[in-house]
């Protein structure tokens, strides 16, 4: 079964600085999709970024980018120029068929 591991329960970053959230996954498949979701205190689930496994180029969305290492089964999220509104729980997710989530990382942003 596919598993997703987020080894950082909590992270802190100073406003305007850069932070990287880690994610590893386990799969025997070669074609799949990876996602990062943000969950603010409202508990709404917001898609941050997606990555197709067949694409070597790392996905970017404004201040958010990923470092996708397929052989290492690693999918980290980098947030640049952190803002107070980035404070939330962040989930890494894997999808081939069903969508499986990691345990999440709480990100705190200090002003």
Partner 1 sequence: SQTIHQWPATLVQPVGSPLSLECTVEGTSNPNLYWYRQAAGRGLQLLFYSVGIGQISSEVPQNLSASRPQDRQFILSSKKLLLSDSGFYLCAWTPGGKQRTEAFFGQGTRLTVV
Contact footprint for partner 1 (CB under 8 A): 6, 31-33, 35, 37, 43-45, 47, 50, 52, 89, 91, 93, 95-104, 106
Q: Which is nearer to partner 1, 87 or 102 (CB)?
A: 102
Shortest CB 50 distance to partner 1, Å: 6
Residues contacting 100, CB < 8 A, separation 6+: 2, 3, 4, 93, 94
Decide whether 11 or 15 has the Cβ nearer to partner 1: 11
CB of 16 to partner 1, least distance (A): 27
Quick one: 35 or 68, whose CB is closer to partner 1?
35
Residue that has been written with the tokens 């074609």 in this structure:
31
In angstroms, what is the minimal distance from the CB of 45 to partner 1? 4
The pairing of strands 105-110 and 3-5 is unpaired
Beta carbons within 8 Å of 8's beta carbon, 6+ residues apart: 21, 22, 105
Euclidean distance between CA atoms 90 and 3, whole angstroms: 16
Nearer Cβ to partner 1, position 10 or 15? 10
């Amino acid at each position: 079964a596919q598993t997703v591991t987020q080894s950082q329960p909590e992270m802190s970053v100073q406003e305007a600085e850069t932070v990287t959230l880690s994610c590893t996954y386990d799969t025997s498949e070669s074609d799949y999709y990876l996602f990062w979701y943000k969950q603010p205190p409202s508990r709404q689930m917001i898609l941050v970024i997606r990555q197709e496994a067949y694409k070597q180029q790392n996905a970017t969305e404004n201040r958010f980018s990923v470092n996708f290492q397929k052989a290492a089964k690693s999918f980290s999220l980098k947030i640049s120029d952190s803002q107070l509104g980035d404070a939330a729980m962040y989930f890494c997710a894997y999808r081939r068929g069903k969508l499986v989530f990691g345990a999440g990382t709480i990100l705190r942003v200090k002003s």
